[in-house]
Amino acid sequence: EDKVVQSPLSLVVHEGDTVTLNCSYEVTNFRSLLWYKQEKKAPTFLFMLTSSGIEKKSGRLSSILDKKELFSILNITATQTGDSAIYLCAVEAEYGGATNKLIFGTGTLLAVQP
Amino acid sequence: DTEVTQTPKHLVMGMTNKKSLKCEQHMGHRAMYWYKQKAKKPPELMFVYSYEKLSINESVPSRFSPECPNSSLLNLHLHALQPEDSALYLCASSQERPSGRIEEQFFGPGTRLTVL
């Protein structure tokens, strides 16, 4: 059975800290890995990773994929209280010739304290 | 227009009611999705529509009935729901390539459903 596992489940840090969130997966017919940030409502897209070893960066956030070891990390540097959210990792999997689908991990709840 | 809209934002219904959730996007995306999300859990895929045809049904009970009237609209018809169906229902859309590959999914704000 396909699965996506995130760690830690929750994390409390202080403003200015750097955090690393982990996502490991066992998915048949892997196509890509995506990171989302979810605050009170809908998840918002952060990154889509398809190739190993190529870092994607957006401001203080960066992410990288290792397709050999089947994991990805999301780094946030100089954290701010606005970074407090649930961070979701999702893997795109091919689904028998039909539209591919996303398999979500359990999420990491990040709380950044002032 | 780069957003997915959903109505209503909140819905309270009894177990004998019939209601519908609506989702709309004008980004030209040809794949649209319904997810169910319980508190402190990740979204669970329910249905996928690809080019207005039902592509994936994740063994969802028949009391949930999806409909895709056109490429911009996606409905979820609800009938005889149970209290355990109370959740946040998220709609999403994405560009889809002919191979089935999808680009990133854009999510709507969700409908918070409570079944009494």
* Type of residue numbered A20: T
Give Cβ neighbours of residue A72 (< 8 Å, ≥ 6 apart). A22, A23, A25, A33, A35, A49, A63, A64, A65, A66, A89
Across A85-94, average pLDDT: 92
For residue A6, pLDDT over 90 is answered with yes
The pLDDT assigned to B55 comes to 87
Confidence of residue B101 (pLDDT cuts 50, 70, 90): low
d(CA B44, CA B61): 14
Across B11-35, average pLDDT: 93
Residue A9 DSSP code: S
Across B35-45, average pLDDT: 91
Q: What proportion of chain B, given as a percentage, has pLDDT over 90?
A: 69
User: For A9-63, what is each residue's pLDDT tens digit?
Assistant: 999 999 999 999 999 999 988 989 999 999 987 899 999 999 888 899 999 999 9
* B45 contacts A94? CB cut-off 8 A: no
d(CA A77, CA A85): 15
* A99 contacts B48? CB cut-off 8 A: yes
Mean model confidence pLDDT for chain B: 91
Which residues of chain A lie closer than 8 angstroms to B50, CB-CB? 98-99
The two beta strands, A30-38 and A43-49, are antiparallel
For residue A102, pLDDT over 80 is answered with yes
d(CA B78, CA A38): 26
Are B107 and B92 in contact, with CB atoms under 8 Å apart? yes
Q: Is B52 on the interface with A (CB under 8 A)?
A: no
User: For A59-79, what is each residue's pLDDT tens digit?
Assistant: 999 999 999 999 999 999 999
Q: Is B48 on the interface with A (CB under 8 A)?
A: yes
CA-nearest of A75, A57, A68, A83 to A24 is A68
Across B37-41, average pLDDT: 89
Tell me phi and psi for residue A82, to 5 degrees. Answer: -70, -10
* B41 contacts A106? CB cut-off 8 A: yes
Q: Is B55 on the interface with A (CB under 8 A)?
A: yes
Using CA atoms, how far residue A48 sits from A35, A65, A67, B54, in Å, is 7, 10, 14, 25
Choose from A49, A50, A102 for mutation: most chain B CBs within 10 A. A102
* B103 contacts A106? CB cut-off 8 A: no
Our CA-based measurement puts residue B105 at a distance from the nearest CA of chain A, in whole angstroms, of 7
